[in-house]
Amino acid sequence: MKAQSKEYFKPCLRFKRREHPYDIGMPFSWWPGHYDRHFLNNLYERDTSEFDEFYHYHLAHFLKVNSGDEEPEFFRHVWDIVHDGIAKLIDDDDVSSKAKHHRTNKHKLHLRAFVSYLDSIDGFNARPSHIIIAEKDTMIARQQQQIADYQQQLEELNKLEVKQKIMIEEDHLPTLIHLLQQLIDQTLPSGRFFLKCDNTSPYYKMVSKYFSKGGSSISKETVKNYFGDKKKNIQPKTPIPKDKKLFKIVPVDPEP
């Protein structure tokens, strides 16, 4: 363990009651040279929800008593202490002692959870370089896989693209919408709806994507305005003119 040249953690004052639960050490008789052990012993008592507050409590003390020093140094020191603590637990483990082995496993899990917390706040890459490089390599590999997945999805979507849209005779977009609205309302002999969808967005997106009006593109919002919401009693913003309602969809009579 590194020799302490600075005061990294707020200690418990001698012969006085502990001012704060996060203060390390004991009110009576504790060795400052064992500050790392006292830090870990206090950490064992902290819930995972306290990790951030516990870390920043001692960080604030470190910055206060060590003028000119910055957080990366404190972070690296804490990181070393916690990893040394895990190594020490592994070395001292006694599987023949049920109680000690259980306590060791409990402490290892707790320190590893704290390591995960430290990893999450290392915005200055203060951890050993091989860990940072390994994380970056993992991130790059994950991003490359995501890019490959996106490229495959794009290729599948491109297969659905059309070179030429279906052209609606000029001024007869409402006629097409009227036909779609009739289809939406059709029911089968069983009584179930022929088409079923919780909203109308697939219909107006389909028209915008695959149809053109007199050779010109049709905006999604233009088509959307022709659709309302019967469930919510919302009327269409753009009604269909009577002279554009040219066709009527009716069910055929069943054959005898």
Taking only the tens place, the pLDDT of each residue in 213-254 is 877 899 999 999 999 887 788 889 999 999 999 999 988 887
Q: How confident is the model at residue 29 (pLDDT cuts 50, 70, 90)?
A: low
Q: Is the pLDDT of residue 169 over 60?
A: yes
Q: What is the mean pLDDT of residues 9-23?
A: 84
Q: What is the mean pLDDT of residues 130-148?
A: 87
pLDDT of residue 215: 79
Distances in Å between the Cα of 173 and the Cα atoms of 52, 146, 178, 197 are 60, 40, 9, 22
Residues 6+ apart with CB under 8 A from 127: 76, 79, 118, 119
Residue in 205, 245, 200, 240 with CA at minimum distance from that of residue 221: 205
Residues 6+ apart with CB under 8 A from 25: 11, 12, 32, 35, 38
Q: What are the DSSP E strand ranges found in 200-240?
A: 211-213, 216-217
Q: Is the pLDDT of residue 2 over 70?
A: no
Q: Cβ(84)–Cβ(35) under 8 Å?
A: no
CA 111 from centre of chain: 24
How far is the first Cα of the chain from the last one, in angstroms, to the nearest whole number?
A: 95
pTM, to two decimals: 0.55
pLDDT of residue 52: 97
Residue-wise burial string across 74-94, b where 16 or more C-beta atoms lie within 10 A, e elsewhere: bbbbbbebbbebbebbeeebe
Tokens of 118: 């430290």
Average pLDDT, the chain: 89
Q: What are residue 237's phi and psi, to 5 degrees?
A: -70, -30
Q: Cβ(180)–Cβ(203) under 8 Å?
A: yes
Q: What is the mean pLDDT of residues 88-103?
A: 92
